Structure 1
């Protein structure tokens, strides 16, 4: 039996679901269930339109902030900090002891550092001409949450 190697820019949803399920099963056996739960913080205007938000998840005792966005008209009003506070509070209630995030924007980097995040790694030229910085923050004193 021979295996075929396929490279695609349009993977099927079933293929991605299969990969995710297989990796999750492996990780569950290796380190235990992730307990992954989505976490979202939204800011809406008077008309109900989203003007800022965070999307991420909690897993293995950590909060991962995947996306953080604030409408340009609202930047500089500490909305990002308020959203991070809300996400971190929820994460602690879920038993998380740490949080992590990454950025290649120098202004966002300053916001995260003001919120108590500390760099732990960087990739130069990701994207070209920028540095992608990875940051973490201790949320509780206990590694057990």
Structure 2
């Protein structure tokens, strides 16, 4: 392979499918070299999906949680409660059950991200600690907060 000086390299938004595949292969090869055990676990499909629903006395869905388990982590992707049932403990029940299931599967930690107008205080009350924040993430003045919790 010929390596050219940086000042002779052109950057373009035009990428062919075969070029994209090559780029992804380079990244995947690097990741395997640096963390092969983790990459192999992804190939083996060790990530397990999680879906929970909360239902009222009429068996109507009033809340839900979507996430996954991977290695020793619970990831919460979506947690939402029907507006009439907010602040009544439904979200707490959903997250607590997800955490219980995570511990049963050997998970030691949980993580979630949420917007400043969504539920940062909710997760703080459940014992999550903020580990990062992207200010003005949506370019409309709202921050994205990242939380984690030790489950052990």
Q: TM-score, normalised by structure 2?
A: 0.72
Higher radius of gyration, 1 or 2: 2
C-alpha separation in 1, matches of 2:67 and 2:73: 11
Looking at structure 2, the residues matched to 81 and 105 of structure 1 have their Cα atoms a distance apart, in angstroms, of 18
The offset of 1:127, in angstroms, is 1.4
Would you say the 8 A contact 1:123–1:132 is kept in 2?
yes
> Could you say what the CA RMSD is over the residues aligned between the two structures, in angstroms?
2.5
Over 4 Å off, 4+ runs: none
Kindly indicate whether residue 70 of structure 2 is the aligned counterpart of residue 63 of structure 1. Answer: no
Residue 107 of structure 1, CA deviation: 5.1
Equivalent-residue separation in structure 2 for 1:44 and 1:105 (angstroms): 27
Residue 151 of structure 2 is aligned to residue 139 of structure 1? yes
Aligned length: 123
Structure 2 unpaired stretches of 5+:
1-14, 19-23
Q: Which has the higher contact order (CA 8 A, sep 6+)?
A: 1
Which segments of 5 or more consecutive residues in structure 1 lack a partner in the other structure?
7-18, 141-145
TM-score by length of 1: 0.75
